[in-house]
Amino acid sequence: MRAFIFPGQGSQAVGMGKALAEASPHAREVLQEVDEALGQRLSRLMADGPADELTLTENAQPAIMANAIATLRVLEREGGVRLADKADYVAGHSLGEYTALCAAGAFDLATTAALLRTRGQAMQEAVPVGEGAMAALLGCDLEQARVIAGAAVDAILAEGGPELVCTVANDNDPSQVVISGHRAAIERAIPLAKELGAKRALLLPVSAPFHCPLMQPAADVMENALLDADLRAPLVPVYCNVDAAPIATPGTIRVALVRQVTGMVRWRESVLAMTAAGVTEFVEVGGKVLGPMVKRIAPDATVTSVVTMDDIEALAARL
């Protein structure tokens, strides 16, 4: 069995999609459709930067999706590899879940782009700049990360400080967990992490504390946006981040996407659940970020990353 997977924020880079658009009219069509849906030349920003503007959450989220869907469309139209025929499941990391739903036909491309623009803006506006932060804990598993996050909160309370948010945001793989919350709590957690067993802890260059309770205002925005969005049953089941389980109806998808804004991205558990369901091959479309995580979670799985025309041709020849 095979799963197609789609990357999340952090995989953006200036030049993304440029070579593919130059090589394929199908890729250009996707980028043009996203530009029109957003009323913005996002494709130009993707191709030429500047990097700081591309990295803004409201730009990075639709850009990463557009790049992945452009790659998939070339694979389908020119490579003859139809996702609905070749994938048993799809999944995506954080915003990548929207890409997965688009790839599986639950959302059309314009709707996906608009939802991600709304999501990015809402997440950015939920917490004033400077008040939130995220940190990656390396050489650390989920239970260790929970202990570290709790210790940071307790240490601040013991000093007479306020009760701050510090919680696990992303359970990426057995050796990489991300925490999120108030900046003061995250900064307290970093030195504690090494004392409590992590090999390394580093502040992430993000503009907001994603996937934690501080994102509740953004979840409220997305609940309204998703109520109005045209949503169909996906052609293949989608493993959702918050439950690490497949969802297949519009109602469950809406609920999962709202919960995802404040909830933990259970990527490690999602990969384990897919392998338990029989998946032995993972195809990462539009990035090379999730593949290494998958190999650390499921070492026996086959992982293929599809980014370039050469990658697309090689996969099409094999499938």
Cα distance between residue 172 and residue 265, in whole Å: 8
Active-site annotation holder among 11, 43, 94, 207: 94
180 is catalytic: no
Cα Rg of the chain (Å, integer)? 19
DSSP string, 37-88: HHTS-HHHHHHH--HHHHHSHHHHHHHHHHHHHHHHHHHHHTT---HHHH-S
Cα distance between residue 188 and residue 203, in whole Å: 11
Dihedral sign computed on CA atoms, order 48, 117, 293, 290: negative
Helix (H) or strand (E) holding 3: strand 2-6
Helix (H) or strand (E) holding 132: strand 132-138
Q: Which residues contact 97 (CB under 8 A, 6 or more apart)?
A: 6, 91, 238, 240, 241, 256, 257, 260
Residue whose C-alpha is closest to residue 95's, from 69, 71, 64: 64
26 is catalytic: no
The neighbouring-strand residues paired with 91 are 5, 239
Cα distance between residue 314 and residue 319, in whole Å: 9
Active-site annotation holder among 26, 93, 182, 211: 211
Which residues have a catalytic role annotated? 94, 211
